């Protein structure tokens, strides 16, 4: 299993450009999430999905769009990049346990995005 993969690893954008960060998992997990990591703030949830065709907003969704057409893929779109979106982005997948509690989240290696 490759686990959770993210592309690209690094990206530099100019203000106003759009782009898509790719995320894929091969563990057949129901849940997928996108986080951004900024110094001193831990990881903050951008969007998440509880299954194909179902997405919801997290703590910091503005400026980002997601869709989930398959179980495996969960791309994150930046509509019009701004310097405030300079960050490291992590994708994660997880599952529910038989008891209903949270399963382990598995993280991708991250994408370091700089917006000039």
Partner 1 sequence: AQSVTQLDSHVSVSEGTPVLLRCNYSSSYSPSLFWYVQHPNKGLQLLLKYTSAATLVKGINGFEAEFKKSETSFHLTKPSAHMSDAAEYFCVVSADNYGQNFVFGPGTRLSVLP
Assess 19 for contact with partner 1 (CB under 8 A): no
Per the listing, tokens 């900024």 go with 38
The rounded distance, in Å, linking the Cα atoms of 115 and 62 is 16
Assess 107 for contact with partner 1 (CB under 8 A): yes
The rounded distance, in Å, linking the Cα atoms of 3 and 65 is 23
Min dist. Cβ of residue 88 to partner 1 (A): 9
Per the listing, tokens 């893929």 go with 73
Assess 54 for contact with partner 1 (CB under 8 A): no
Among 50, 71, 75, 86, which residue sits at the site for partner 1 (rule: CB under 8 A)? Answer: 50
Q: Could you tell me which of 95, 75, 58, 55 has the C-alpha nearest to residue 8?
A: 75
User: Applying CB under 8 A, which residues contact partner 1?
Assistant: 31, 33, 35, 40-45, 48, 50, 58, 90, 94-97, 99-110
């Amino acid at each position: 299993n490759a686990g959770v993969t993210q592309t690209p690893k690094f990206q530099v954008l100019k203000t106003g450009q759009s782009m898509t960060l790719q995320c894929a998992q091969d563990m057949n997990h129901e849940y997928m999430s996108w986080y951004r990591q900024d110094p001193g703030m831990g990881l903050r949830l951008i969007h998440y999905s509880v299954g194909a065709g179902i997405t919801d907003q997290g703590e910091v969704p503005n400026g980002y769009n997601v869709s989930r057409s398959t179980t495996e893929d969960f791309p994150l779109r930046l509509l019009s990049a701004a310097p405030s979106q300079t960050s490291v982005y992590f994708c994660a997948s997880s599952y529910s346990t038989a008891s209903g509690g949270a399963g382990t989240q598995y993280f991708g290696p991250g994408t370091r995005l700089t917006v000039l």
